[in-house]
Structure 1
Amino acid sequence: MREWGRELGFSQIGVADVDLSAAEPGLLAWLDNGFHGQMAYMSAHGLKRARPAELVPGTVSIVTARMDYLPADTPEGWQAIEFSRLARPGEAVVSMYARGRDYHKVLRSRLAKLAGRIASEVGPFGHRAFTDSAPVLEVELASRSGQGWRGRHTLALDREGGSMFFLGEIYVDLALPATAPVSEHCGTCTACIDVCPTAAIVAPYRLDARRCISYLTIEHPGPIPVELRPLMGNRIYGCDDCQLACPWNKFAQRSPLADFDALDDRTGRTLVELFAWNEAEFLRRTEGSAIRRIGHERWLRNIAVAMGNALRVSDHPEIRAALAAHEHHPSPLVREHIGWALCQQANG
């Protein structure tokens, strides 16, 4: 399976068993604290996340897969380059994983091919593939199967690959030998906790999604809390800060797949340029992208917040004019964020 996985673009393949009972108390505590915010699907599925055989009856083992996503042309020193984008208030910053093709489609297709290769060897078998698409404890399964360990930011970390990778799983009805987990190597480092703009990592290994910029810009459907808006800077889709600060990501691997190459539409563009997209242009330019799922309304909401933050740094006549041109947008959500942005002033 490892060989087949490499041929399909996966950097590592592992196997986990289905007994995740040790993860249940932590999952329940996270839900009880409301750290999942408005992601109702997290609580709706309850402990099914920690009970794979309930999610897919007949599951005996879980094949785990890791796929690196840094573009092939990512230069040395990329972490510093990405941090520098945050110092340019007029630039729109999209999380690195979302600058290429939608990873859901890439991984699903290749997991299906991997399952096909397994079937060609053992014959027909029961299976179901997932990638961030069902109630699956992905990081738990990854860490149990040797894909890495859970970092303090709650993401999976690998000594040879950092954390810039996607995870996928195939639930199977085959009894496969589990691969051994690896030891943790965060030591005393708290770089991810210290750098988080909104203090969303409330304790090591504990994330309050309600404060996380990735949640706020992608999952959160309503108004972004006013007290968090100034902390979001120019991040309009996701946030990479905890990964950029992680020392292990100096070992992050480049992807061999062109699918994750960054597109010009999503890299180095100005807030004004992206705010000018009408809904038709938004849909056209985000076709095949993970960004499309947030819709045009949230897209404008997020950019309006970033524009307001730019105005807090210095006056940008072009930004103020772009906001004013949309001041009467039909969406109350967009109008409210534009109104907030227009009230922001440098040194005020």
Structure 2
Amino acid sequence: MKEALAAEALAAGFAKMRVARPDAIPEAAGRLRAFLQAGRHGQMGWMAERSHWRGDPAALWPEARSVVMLADLYTPDHDPLAVLEARDRAAISVYAQGRDYHDLVKKRLKRLGRWMLTRHQDEAIKVFVDTAPVMEKPLAQAAGLGWQGKHTNLLARDLGSWFFLGAIFTTLDLPPDPPEDEHCGSCRACLDICPTGAFPAPFQLDARRCISYLTIEHKGPVDPELRPLMGNRIYGCDDCLAVCPWNKFAREGSEMRYRGIAGAPTLAELAVLDDAGFRARFAGSAIKRIGRNRFIRNVLYAIGNSADRRLAPVARNLRGDADPVVADAATWAEARLTER
């Protein structure tokens, strides 16, 4: 059954499949507790609210006997760091360049799940893609899919850094795979490149300083100390992923829908988007979930960091925006540019 399932997973578009037991990450609860107690989750209160499930997959669904972990490639066809030099353009994380991965990965998981149920009708499954209290990365390492690097993201020797994770919890008893060891060695590339110093130590992340968190999860104004460090990154940050040496073994992704929506547009064209324009431009994209106001806030921080005085009028036009956070960002951006 497991061999047939792996073949079906590849046919569904996944790059790799491995299996773990629900109780394979006993250390996860303690690590999560320490992370939360230190306040490193910032405004992500949902992490604390359901931490009893997040820290113990067996508690989330006690009937589950196996966790099938799957990797879905979104490897970029360009250097994600190159756009950081084009300071009048928006740097958008590779994973959000195309269609929302939640939708595409879930469709593949459901297809695979239906295939499982046709062969074992007395069994049950649940599929998860980053929206339930499941610690996918520790489970993926326990399953042998890859390991959590010093930047806390998952990477693999045969896939590099660029893949999404999906999980199928099942009552089917499948043989587990051996866990993957850590292969970072003495490398510090991901730690040293971080613009905001979001890694207090190797294998530790303080989300409150992470640009991905600041541009996506953080509500309200960003600390003025951190704004200049964000550069032109307006949605997520790929620096620690892109610099990883293991990416020389990354495989090309076959799903073209992970590309093509966002690109690297100019900051000037993004700054004028109203709510309707924002929704229309990013329909089907993961970007839409943060809403127009938070998005424009990020664009204005990038404008302030652009050193392009021609963008000062763009910022000035938003100083009277109905959203006070946007207005604050516009005032900050114009002041930065005129001071220069």
Fold-level similarity (TM above 0.5): yes
- 1:287-306 correspondence runs (5 A): 287-306=283-302
Q: 1:258: Cα distance to partner?
A: 2.1
SS in 2 for 1:294: helix
- 1:11 matched to 2:15? The reply is yes
Q: Which letter does structure 1 place at the counterpart of 2:326?
A: V
Identity %: 42
Alignment RMSD: 1.3
Which residue does the alignment assign to 2:101?
103
Q: Tell me, in whole angstroms, the C-alpha distance in 1 between the residues paired with 2:122 and 2:199.
A: 44
SS in 2 for 1:253: coil
Contact residue 215 and residue 235 of structure 2 kept, 8 A:
yes
Say which of 2, 8, 19 aligns to 2:6: 2
- 1:286 matched to 2:282? The reply is yes
Which residue does the alignment assign to 2:272?
276
Which residue does the alignment assign to 2:313?
321
Q: Tell me, in whole angstroms, the C-alpha distance in 1 between the residues paired with 2:269 and 2:303.
A: 12
Range with bigger deviation, 110-119 or 123-132:
123-132
Q: Tell me, in whole angstroms, the C-alpha distance in 2 between the residues paired with 1:159 and 1:275.
A: 40
TM-score, structure 1 normalization: 0.93
Q: Deviations over 1:230-287 (max 9, x none)?
A: 0000000000000111111122222211221233xx1121100111211111101111
Contact residue 308 and residue 340 of structure 1 kept, 8 A:
yes
Contact residue 70 and residue 260 of structure 1 kept, 8 A:
no
Q: Deviations over 1:168-194 (max 9, x none)?
A: 101111211101122221110000000
Q: 1:346: Cα distance to partner?
A: 7.5
Q: Tell me, in whole angstroms, the C-alpha distance in 2 between the residues paired with 1:163 and 1:326.
A: 37
SS in 1 for 2:173: coil
Range with bigger deviation, 166-175 or 121-130:
121-130
Aligned residues: 335
Q: Tell me, in whole angstroms, the C-alpha distance in 2 between the residues paired with 1:179 and 1:32.
A: 32
- 1:140 matched to 2:138? The reply is yes
Which residue does the alignment assign to 1:177?
175
Which residue does the alignment assign to 1:208?
206
SS in 1 for 2:168: strand
Which residue does the alignment assign to 2:324?
332
Gaps of 5+ in 2: none
Which residue does the alignment assign to 1:189?
187
Say which of 63, 67, 73 aligns to 1:68: 73
Q: Tell me, in whole angstroms, the C-alpha distance in 1 between the residues paired with 2:122 and 2:43.
A: 40
SS in 1 for 2:18: strand
Contact residue 234 and residue 295 of structure 2 kept, 8 A:
yes
SS in 2 for 1:160: coil
Contact residue 104 and residue 132 of structure 1 kept, 8 A:
yes
Q: Deviations over 1:123-142 (max 9, x none)?
A: 24221111111111111000
Which residue does the alignment assign to 2:219?
221
TM-score, structure 2 normalization: 0.96
Which residue does the alignment assign to 2:128?
130
Q: Which letter does structure 1 place at the counterpart of 2:97?
A: R
Q: Tell me, in whole angstroms, the C-alpha distance in 1 between the residues paired with 2:199 and 2:35.
A: 12
Change (3 A) 1:207 1:346: farther
Q: 1:347: Cα distance to partner?
A: 7.6
Q: Deviations over 1:289-310 (max 9, x none)?
A: 1000000000100000000011
Gaps of 5+ in 1: none
Q: Which letter does structure 2 place at the counterpart of 1:307?
A: I
Q: 1:57: Cα distance to partner?
A: 3.3
Q: Tell me, in whole angstroms, the C-alpha distance in 2 between the residues paired with 1:258 and 1:150.
A: 26
Say which of 261, 267, 289 aligns to 2:263: 267
- 1:43 matched to 2:48? The reply is yes
